[in-house]
Amino acid sequence: MALLGTLKGFGVTDIFQLISQQIKTGTLVLTSPKYKISILFQEGIIKGVTNDNWATDPRAKVLLNSGLIGEKEYKAALDIQKKGSSKWEDILISQGKLEKTLLDKAANIIIKEIFLDIFQWKEGSYRFEDGDPDTEAMLSCHIVTENLILDTLRIIDEWPLIKQKIPPVDYCPVVITPITEEIAKKNSITAEDAHIFDLIDGKKTIETIIRESLETSFDGLSAFVKLIDASLIEVFPKETKEQIDASITRQAFWKRIKNASVYILLAICIAGLITIGHPRVGPNMFFNPVIKEYIKTQKDLATLYTTQRIRPSNSNANNHAH
Amino acid sequence: MATISILANMVPTIPLKDILSSWPYLSTLLGNIYFFVILTATLSFFIIGVSLIIKYAPHILNDLKNLIGTEIPEIGIKLWVAFIFLIPIFFDMGPLWFVLWWFIVLWGYVNRSEKKITFVFIFFIFISSWIAHIGGSFLTMTQTHVNKEIFMIENHMGSIKDVLSVASWIQKHPDDAEPINTQAIVEKRKGNYISAIQLLSRALDLEPNNSRFYNHLGIAFSGALKDREAIGAFKEAIAIAPDNMIYHYNLSRVYQGMYNLYDAEKEIKLASNIDPSRLKEFLDKEGKDINHRFIEEGTPVIRLLYRQLKLSNDLDMASDALWDIGFGSIDRSMAIWLSLIYAMILLILDYMPKERFTKRCSRCGSLYYVGSLSKKGHPMCLQCHWLSTKSKKQPDYIMLNKIEKVKQHRTYYSSDTATLEMILPGMGSIVANNTLKGIYRVCVISAGLIMIITGGQFIFSFIPTGIDLRSIIRFGGILMIGCVYLSAYKIPPIKQGV
């Protein structure tokens, strides 16, 4: 046993960094109160991930949810898997019902979301041991550890920024302006954002589109936020075309009202404050007349004594007290 | 009105060091230094506040955008941000209210070292009432507690009006010993020794340990030809202040008058042991003028300075007016409460979740909410924090990308902050998280500006010195500002390429 401890003393990023720097090979087992995750490292590079809670292949669930494979097809492939040696995914690929790239993308989503989760663990324990875990249930991958750390930290950094702008996921996005090269450049639209944009048909909800896109929740939602910010799309409750059109008109009207209200409210606030407050204006803005008066008294006295030729050194002067 | 250079006439008899120990000059000098320091501090706080607005306004703008939504035009949100910062302008509030308000608005954004400035500011508010009181005392030094009259009479410059003022004051304030002593001096000079003795006895009843009063009593007794009583009074003075050579000298004069040359010589020796040069001066004066036989002792400067700090209506008015310039809107007596309430508000604001406030990574410049802090307490996004704490760097694509972003930000930031630094030294440093350097430069620039604008003259000595240092001080101010600009040019807030 090479490494053992709790996450309170040593953070997940530190453990990953250490394994990566030491170019270690072995399995890192992270245990939280909820579940246990095993990560396979080969010379410091992440080669696979497994979760104790996975009763079935998690990729299947992602593909089924996205509608990329049907329930029947999947069950049939599972039946064949039980009889023979081939795996369900190989069967579906050989049957031409599934593309290898989509399978990899599904795996990618699962792995990314697992890492995003474990990087935010505040309690739990870790154990790094030599040798491979049960590779049967392991999702294989090839991820450079430091890239993973940076990418996951970026998501943690940006998530609160995105979170505040996320629209309700059961709303339907509607295209307002098509993406042009200029717009894409101006708003830094990435290939992932464009992919999400392409899936918008006015009927699908945000949740459905993200599932179909095979992007992680973070990437999908941040793409939506970016598209809304760029005024390329707008979101509405799931309604008919007529209702959406009416809704767009209504929203445009309210938008104008909202815009105008920003200025009107500001003007009211300024007028109100001018009325109730007493702004410090005029010649005495920086100088109080009382102070002026006291300084003037000192000056006058100095002038008077100057004209009287009074000076402290002249003890024999005729200005005696008597 | 003819202006006469008093100093020109004084030079042969009073050296410059004695001028500085004279109450009107010392008080004026202290007052001018005091007002200069307070005004510099006030201006510095204001400039620091403006610098923090420049630094954090984009953060507030970002948070407001997130709060209101992207549909609202940016110009509208910017106007609202400007309005929020300028709210105190709508009330009768001085510049320090602005600073106070800005720190509240920016509290969620400011870093550790900037928070320390706020604590200093809270302390400044806490003591502001006393600051105004001390300032007021310099403004009203000639108008309170007959200080001016006491000084003028003691220094043979008093007029009938001054004598009447002292007499009137004694009637109204029978427990104030100092004017009674002054009145006694007047009576003694008139030759009314009995009256002087009565007044000094009254003063000594009020202040039994005042050696000066005993000295004057001794002189009065001597004038009344009561040598034995005079010896007793001088001995009392010596018992209280044995190191004061005047008392020994005066005692020796009494002995000499009684032809007790042995004791006279003994006292002269004692006086000589304490201050031989002064003794020589006294003996010379006595030789020239018999009126200088006994030496009177003027009220110590420290006592007059203390007296000018004593409460009076004029002092209250001046202090209130001074406080009004800085703060205003509420009464000066509320200053302590204001500071406590302010501290409490900031304490409550401190409990607001940090994730609610936008932060800008001090390394790569990206805006974020969660992040971490660098060793110096500057905000850092998680990626940069991880990169900076990494023990061994293994460059790969993402890391190189990030490092490139950091470099780009640094280049942009260094030119941006250098421009700000050249607009107003210190501002760029504060924006670049170089708070200490920023504060230093802001203070120097504030001091320089105050020197140029005022020439270092806020109050006037009621007995003119004939010296006008305003041009020199203004030149000093220009020099200071020039030096700060040169230093800002040579040492920008962020060095490029580092």
The answer to whether residues A26 and A139 belong to one domain is yes
Count: domains in chain A: 2
The answer to whether residues A48 and A121 belong to one domain is yes
Could you write out the DSSP letters of every residue in A217-258? HHHHHHHHHHHHHTTSEEEEES--HHHHHHHHHHHHHHHHHH
CB atoms within 10 A of CB B292: 17
For residue A58, give how far its alpha carbon lies from the nearest alpha carbon of chain B (Å). 28
The answer to whether residues A12 and A144 belong to one domain is yes
The answer to whether residues A8 and A132 belong to one domain is yes
CA distances (Å), A105 to each of A214, B52, B397, in order? 6, 46, 21
The answer to whether residues A131 and A15 belong to one domain is yes
Which stretches of chain B drop beneath a pLDDT of 70?
A: 1-20, 69-71, 287-292, 390-398, 496-498
Q: Measure the CA–CA gap between B460 and B148, rounded to whole angstroms.
A: 13
Q: Measure the CA–CA gap between B352 and B110, rounded to whole angstroms.
A: 13
Q: B77 and chain A: CB distance < 8 Å anywhere?
A: yes
Instruction: Name the domain boundary from A237, A260, A279.
Output: A237
Residue A313 binned pLDDT confidence (cut-offs 50, 70, 90): low
The answer to whether residues A186 and A66 belong to one domain is no
CB B295 within 8 A of CB B246: yes
Report if residue A31 sits inside a domain.
yes
The beta-carbon neighbor of B91 closest among A231, A278, A305 is A278
Could you write out the DSSP letters of every residue in A52-102? TT-SS-HHHHHHHHHTSS-HHHHHHHHHHHHHSSS-HHHHHHHTTSS-HHH
Pairing of strands A26-31, A36-42: antiparallel
Rg (CA), chain B: 32
DSSP 3-state percent helix, strand, coil across chain A (nearest 5)? 55, 15, 35
A219 CB contacts (<8 Å, ≥6 apart)? A192
Number of residues assigned to chain A: 322
The range of the structural domain enclosing residue A228 comes to: 165-237
B459 CB contacts (<8 Å, ≥6 apart)? A295, A298, B28, B31, B32, B35, B138, B139, B141
Report if residue A279 sits inside a domain.
no
The answer to whether residues A151 and A7 belong to one domain is yes
Q: Which residue of A has its CA nearest to B398?
A: A147
B positions 11-70 inside 8 Å of A (CB):
13-14, 22, 24, 66-67, 69-70
Q: B166 and chain A: CB distance < 8 Å anywhere?
A: no
pTM of the entire structure? 0.79
Tell me the angle at which helices B23-68 and B74-85 cross, rounded to the nearest 10 degrees. 150
Q: A292 and chain B: CB distance < 8 Å anywhere?
A: no
The answer to whether residues A195 and A149 belong to one domain is no
B positions 93-132 inside 8 Å of A (CB):
93-94
Q: B397 and chain A: CB distance < 8 Å anywhere?
A: yes
Residues of A in contact with B94 (CB under 8 A): 280
Instruction: Name the domain boundary from A202, A220, A237.
Output: A237
Residues of B in contact with A316 (CB under 8 A): 156
Partners of A39 in the β-ladder: A28, A49
Q: A217 and chain B: CB distance < 8 Å anywhere?
A: no
* A313 with B10: Cβ contact below 8 A: yes
Q: A278 and chain B: CB distance < 8 Å anywhere?
A: yes
Report if residue A317 sits inside a domain.
no
Instruction: Name the domain boundary from A144, A160, A176.
Output: A160
Residues of B in contact with A274 (CB under 8 A): 90
For residue A297, give how far its alpha carbon lies from the nearest alpha carbon of chain B (Å). 9
Mutation choice for B interface testing from A112, A251, A294 by most B CBs within 10 A: A294
B192 CB contacts (<8 Å, ≥6 apart)? none
Residue A186 has pLDDT above 90, yes or no: no
Q: B353 and chain A: CB distance < 8 Å anywhere?
A: no
Partners of A144 in the β-ladder: A45
A positions 139-168 inside 8 Å of B (CB):
144, 146-147, 149-151, 153-154, 156-161, 164-165
User: What residue spans define the domains of chain B?
Assistant: 17-144+310-357, 147-164+174-308, 405-498
Higher pLDDT, B134 or A140: B134
SS3 track for chain B: CCCCCHHHHHCCCCCHHHHHCCHHHHHHHHHHHHHHHHHHHHHHHHHHHHHHHHHHHHHHHHHHHHHHCCCCCHHHHHHHHHHHHCHHHHCCCCHHHHHHHHHHHHCCCCCHHHHHHHHHHHHHHHCHHHHHHHHHHHHCCCCCCCHHHHHHHHCCCCCHHHHHHHHHHHHHCCCCHHHHHHHHHHHHHHCCHHHHHHHHHHHHHHCCCCHHHHHHHHHHHHHCCCHHHHHHHHHHHHHHCCCCHHHHHHHHHHHHHCCCHHHHHHHHHHHHHHCHHHHHHHHHHHHHCHHHCCCCCCCCHHHHHHHHCCCCHHHHHHHHHHHHHHCCCCCHHHHHHHHHHHHHHHHHHHCCCHHHCCEECCCCCCEECCCEECCCCCEECHHHHHHHHCCCCCCCHHHHHHHHHHHHHHHHHHHHHHHHHHHCCCHHHHHCCCHHHHHHHHHHHHHHHHHHHHCCCCCCCCCCCCCCCHHHHHHHHHHHHHHHHHHHHHCCCCCCCC
The answer to whether residues A198 and A231 belong to one domain is yes
CB atoms within 10 A of CB B233: 28
Q: Which residue of B has its CA nearest to A20?
A: B394
* A279 with B464: Cβ contact below 8 A: no
A positions 174-193 inside 8 Å of B (CB):
none
Residue A314 binned pLDDT confidence (cut-offs 50, 70, 90): very low
* B92 with A278: Cβ contact below 8 A: yes
Q: Which CATH architecture has domain B147-164+174-308?
A: Alpha Horseshoe (1.25)
Residues of B in contact with A157 (CB under 8 A): 366, 368-371, 381-383
Q: B396 and chain A: CB distance < 8 Å anywhere?
A: yes
* B72 with A259: Cβ contact below 8 A: yes
Q: Measure the CA–CA gap between A261 and B97, rounded to whole angstroms.
A: 29
Q: B472 and chain A: CB distance < 8 Å anywhere?
A: no
Report if residue A200 sits inside a domain.
yes
The answer to whether residues A11 and A148 belong to one domain is yes
* pLDDT the model gives residue B6: 36
A252 CB contacts (<8 Å, ≥6 apart)? none
Q: Which residue of B has its CA nearest to A119?
A: B382
Q: Measure the CA–CA gap between A196 and A223, rounded to whole angstroms.
A: 7
Q: B391 and chain A: CB distance < 8 Å anywhere?
A: yes
The answer to whether residues A16 and A148 belong to one domain is yes
The answer to whether residues A71 and A87 belong to one domain is yes
Say what percent of chain A tops pLDDT 70. 90
